[in-house]
Amino acid sequence: MKILQLSFIFCLLFTISNAQEKGVFSGGYETNANFFIRDSLIGANNIPQYDRQLFGAEGWFNLNYRYQGFEIGMRYDYFNNSNLRNPNNSYTDQGLGRWYLKKKINQLGITIGHIYDQLGSGIIYRAFESRPLLIDNALVGARLTYELGENWNAKVFTGKQRYLFGVNDGVVKGAGLEGFHKFSEESSLTVAPGIGFVNRTLSDATMDQVIEVIQSYQDVDKVIPVYNVYLGTLYNTLNYKGFSWYVEGAYKTAEVYNDLFAEKTELDGTVTLGKFVKNSGSVLYSSLSYAGNGLGITVEGKRTENFNFRSDPNMNLNLGLLNFIPPMNRQNTYRLTARYSPATQDLSELAYQADVRYKLNKKLSFLANYSNITTLDGDALYNEVYFEALFKQKRKWQLSGGLQLQQYNQEIYEGKSEAPTVKTVTPFMDFLYKISRRKSVRFEAQYMATDQDYGSWAFALIEVGLAPHWIFEVSGMYNTKPGKNSPSDVETGEKLKLLYPTAGIYYTNKANRYGFRYVKQVEGVVCSGGICRLEPAFSGFKFNVTSNF
């Protein structure tokens, strides 16, 4: 099948490229290579790459072509002893990861193949790619779009969800309508409403698997599965002068899904966690923002209940996701402020955050953020207070610094039984000095004080930039006050104060970028847009190449 797909794409490309009028080619290439160095002290061991393979790589090559209203594209993927799919295992395969054909005929748009799209903010449906977590949920099927006048667009789609080099069995269908209206030429009041619907139908094989599992339950836990689930959403963006208000409400009919925290009664009367349950679900999300006179304010709120939506209910964690629920916490970038990031909870979450930015003058600006996340029953999940100030001295140097306070429910977010809530206090600073137009040096310093998990950390980074080609970076993360989960001395059992160093070189030449780093990294959570997973420690070298044309 892979050979047939490749042959079809290349033949079509050859036919088009030999036409009298030439089109436009574009594309890109990305590859990662990891050289693994076993370090049992930090937990970098007992997986195939450390024990015997020693090397792993993955890569993606995109090629797109546009010609007389046609657009064709393909992407070739390869994974060789890769730890990207599962950080605790090895994965090897290669083939056509994506192909698509698009054509616009007057108001009608036609797309077939692998399609990335979403309805609204993605709450009821989003087909997207996130390479750091190896999420690629493209719809393999067809989509039609139609322009209903100047400001209104409709679309319908159907297909199956991509999973690696195959597809998941559930069939997905959907439709959406979006518009834009300005009340008058003189008025600054506009609205952009939308509506969307999605249906997923399970295959007979998937239904048989679900029934087989449910039949093993005691009567008190049994539920009746259904083949079809239906979702709907209404949303609108209202803009008036400096104000913008987005609101979306979504509903999902009752279906069977896997609840990892639901109590199940065993035959002997004991209670365990994890079983199929059946519920309807809903999400209400809203964001209100204002910008003007140096002030920017954003307030967001979200209520989520039983909104687990997958192509296959047997899947869990990040597998089979058919939708995307926006995260409700600040997306931090510094090493220690981002160490504990909360994954979006699709079964029970009540969350809000407020972000305030103020520019006093050309030199001084401030940022403050507060976020709070609980279950619908009021159980605390996450709380963060964040403050940052930035001072710029013309074009010569700039200094930023701030403080973060966190409370993080490690038992829920990382699945660590009976783990206490992690409470952190993290001051940080970032200094950038421009030696000349092409030379700069940047210094980061952070300290995280906590008594939980691995205990307290100090982090420092020095980065030297020689524009437009070179960046040199050296950093270290030191466990100043080891905690319960820190590595111990084999003989004495004493917790060790370990240094986790990183050193890297980056070279950019036009559209090509190369990176080579030595990395020793502690176990931690890796997140992308609110979707997270716990990854083990890493020890070794990382090489990366990206190119665009």
Q: What is the pLDDT of residues 287-341, one digit of tens each?
A: 999 999 999 999 999 999 999 999 999 988 888 999 999 999 999 999 999 999 9
3-state secondary structure 462-516: EEEEECCCEEEEEEEEEEEEECCCCCECCCCCCECCCEEEEEEEEEEECCEEEEE
Q: pLDDT-based confidence at 13, cuts 50/70/90?
A: low
**First vs last Cα of the chain: how many Å apart?**
29
Percent of the chain topping pLDDT 90: 82
Q: What share of the chain is helix, strand, coil (3-state, %, to 5)?
A: 10, 60, 30
pLDDT band of residue 531 (cuts 50, 70, 90) is confident
- CATH class held by domain 327-549: mainly beta
The identity of residue 364, as a single letter, is L
pLDDT at site 267:
84
pLDDT at 418 over 60: yes
Asked if pLDDT for residue 536 goes beyond 70, the answer is yes
Residues 86-113 pLDDT 10s: 889 999 999 999 999 999 999 999 999 9
Comparing 16 with 274, the larger pLDDT belongs to 274
User: What single DSSP character describes residue 395?
Assistant: T
Q: For residue 165, is pLDDT > 80?
A: yes
- Using 50, 70 and 90 to split pLDDT, how confident is the model at 5? low
Beta-sheet strands, E only, within 268-394: 271-292, 295-305, 348-359, 364-374, 380-393
pLDDT, average across residues 271-283: 93
Is residue 1 predicted with pLDDT exceeding 80?
no
The answer to whether 62 and 71 are in contact (CB under 8 A) is no
For the chain, the structural domain boundaries read 1-102, 106-323, 327-549
For 105-152, write each residue's pLDDT tens digit. Answer: 999 999 999 999 999 999 999 999 999 889 999 999 999 999 998 899
**Amino acid, res. 182:** K
pLDDT grade, residue 36 (50/70/90)?
Answer: very high
Residue 10 confidence class, pLDDT cut points 50, 70, 90: low
Whole-angstrom distance, CA of residue 48 vs CA of residue 46:
7
